[in-house]
Amino acid sequence: MAERRASLMEPRMEYLLDRVGSKFTLVTLAAKRAREINDYYNQLGEGLGKIVPPQVTSVSRKPLSIAMEEIEVGKIEATPLPTEEELAEIAAAEAAAAEAAGDTFAETDGSAPDQGA
């Protein structure tokens, strides 16, 4: 019986799609992470250290392959952006917090304490 040969595409697309849910999300997530990995390798000599290094040990040297491997093991996950309703709720909560902080300031009559004059 013929032995199954290793695919050119590892990790398999089926596993990656199970992780993220859609092809569009997979492509977007992998591309963004590959750019970050590429930037990390480009800034190594500068000593900046602001970019997260690769999260998996890989035999691949290509940033996109490393990003795909990170997605496969669950180190990188897609987080959906908040909806309009969620943004409105956040803004309302921040406004309420600011109003409460303003009330606290008003209770102390808004004047600065004496500095020993």
- Residue-wise pLDDT for 66-80, tens only, equals 999 999 898 888 888
Residue-range definition of the domain harbouring residue 96: 81-109
Residue 33 falls within a domain, yes or no?
yes
CA distance 33 to 64: 8
Residue 101 falls within a domain, yes or no?
yes
Q: Are residues 39 and 91 in the same domain?
A: no
- Angle in degrees, 0-180, between the axes of helices 63-73 and 23-42, rounded to the nearest 10: 120
Question: What's the number of domains the chain is made of?
Answer: 2
Q: Are residues 60 and 87 in the same domain?
A: no
End-to-end CA distance of the chain: 96
Closest by CA position to 62, among listed 89, 41, 93, 77: 41
Instruction: Give, in order, the Cα–Cα distances in Å from 63 to each of 60, 70, 72.
Output: 8, 10, 14
Q: Are residues 16 and 59 in the same domain?
A: yes
Residue 72's contacts (CB-CB under 8 Å, 6 or more residues apart) are: 11, 15, 16, 19
How confident is the model over 32-54, as a mean pLDDT?
82
Instruction: Give, in order, the Cα–Cα distances in Å from 79 to each of 11, 33, 93.
Output: 21, 13, 22
Residue 3 falls within a domain, yes or no?
no
CA distance 9 to 26: 14
pTM exceeds 0.85, yes or no:
no
Q: Are residues 24 and 47 in the same domain?
A: yes
pLDDT one-digit tens code per residue, 8-39: 567 888 888 888 888 999 999 999 999 999 88
